Structure 1
Amino acid sequence: MVSGALLAKIVVQGKGRELADMMERRKVDILCVQETRWKGSKARSIGAGFKLFYYGVDSKRNGVGVVLKEEFVRNVLEVKRVSDRVMSLKLEIEGVMLNVVSGYAPQVGCELEEKERFWSELDEVMESIPTGERVVIRGDFNGHVGEGNRGDEEVMGKFGVKERNLEGQMVVDFAKRMGMAVVNTYFQKREEHRVTQEWRQKLRQALGGQVVLPDDWETTAEVIRETGRKVLGVSSGRRKEDKETWWWNEEVQDSIQRKRLDKMKWDMDRTEENRQEYKELQRRVKREVSKAK
């Protein structure tokens, strides 16, 4: 019944019906959305029998919401719009009190103060929920809890991704404080489903923001190839010799390859350390090219 972390820019772009159709097709009744980028504190229909409750203070960043199938709208008892990163709905369904919390944690590169404020707000929401009521938190927590669960077996399974970072540790610490569990670490996901939303969004931007990417990687790859053929055309495959590549020696090639790898590392985990490593390699590549020429 409840699903979530979905990047909701399609709602902002006037394509809320696509979101509603997806929920209808996948039989999702309640969905948490983040980065809605809608300014205001309202509720509105998005079509196909679904209603979006949302909150945002800036049309350019953040924003959270919860989408409900309209048959559950009358079950809503309370809406708490805490900030543009945290909101919750309380529903009574068949005599059971259910609290649905939508959260959007600050990204890796944000200030520590902003991250601590988010977790403080989430703590306050949890503390305000009476004992005995059910709680589901769905959102984008912008962190990696890591693979394996040694020492944290009570709150997570073995199927996290990557190595745990600071943001992932905050998720684990919160789960321990609240006696909750990081549910999606208890089952193994197919490799193509481990692709981050960050890369999906970058791909959308590269394709002009007009493509809704499917979950299946083979289908996604075909969408990319077809878009490339339409936009860029198809070359003959014969490479034209570049008269200026006489300086392209092994040292330059090695530096450029390491720069590309560091750029990928920084894109995936935007820490200050990764940024400095990438900047230093940029400078090194320029020196190597100049020396070779």
Structure 2
Amino acid sequence: MNIFSVYALQAGGTDEAKEQFWAALQEKLEKVDESERCIIGGEMNGHVGSDNDAISRIRGGNAYGNGDEDGEKVIDLALSFDMVIGNTLFRKRNEHLIAYESGDRASQIDFLLYRRRNIRKIKNCKVIPGDHVTEQHRLVVIDLTIAVSQKQKRKLQLREGENDRILRELSHDRVDVNTWWNDAKSITLRAGKEIFGESSGKVWENKEIWWFNEEVQGKMSAKKKAKKNGKKVNKMKTEQHINSVARELRKQLPSQKNYRYLRGNEESNDQEIAEITREEVNAELEKIKNGKAPGPDDIPVEVWKALGEEGVDMFRWIDKRDTGKQYQKNAIFKEKGYIQSCENY
């Protein structure tokens, strides 16, 4: 997408200066590939008019006022690069066409030009009467439909033989769960660096953040402080509501710390429950999306998916040795929604 913001000389300027402006703009536009999208917008200080049917190819016939010589420059530019004048395509009231107003004078001298072959992507183009860019100029907006292609995420695939080598290392001396898990972390991260490499971690400065200067940061900081001060007023009341809802939820929870359920029914069971099956592990792995941030062990989920059935066996082995621990359910507010609704906990 190429966007040009322009300001043409006013009617009082010399013809030579005006020719230099339009020649310079045309030179810039010639450098843009025809396959690329292009928008030209700004104060062009000309009236294109709506009384010339010969230029209906680039103008919709819904302009305000009559055309003039400076407006012919705008039309010639649009014809040269096969563009349409966006704010003449749609039938609007005069208040949505007039871009400049000073006293008794009203005119349409601010325009937005877009590639004609993409004309179907233009959904609307008009002037917003209540918003002023400057004291006399109103805001001209254009609504476009632009398809954004998502970047394909890299799929993790091990080379032939790498899978067996890693599994042999992970299968060595499975005695203690915690010790094995720490060893598995080291083995997996080392293998990942050897096979797939490691990014430099370099942070590119001034890329898409050039506008985030000290002035913007100061205003955002002031806004956050004001919002924080406003939240403090209702903090005590919010905590009281949360505590009251939590008490009600605790009453509904079982009193036993080690309360467990049998698979397939809702009867309490103080004995051992059935082992986690392969189908359950595979189903949970399929639910987890690729490209997500790993947990505290820094092992991405793609690793476990790549390990296949051997990885499933490791999960089941961990589950068998992670029994006997006691758990307790607690109500935690999600920090959104109505605080007195149990669904938000």
**Coarse TM-score class (shorter-chain normalised):** 0.3 to 0.5
TM-score of the two chains, using structure 1 as the length reference = 0.35
In terms of fraction of residues, the more strand-rich structure is: 1
- Could you tell me the TM-score, scaled by structure 2's length? 0.30
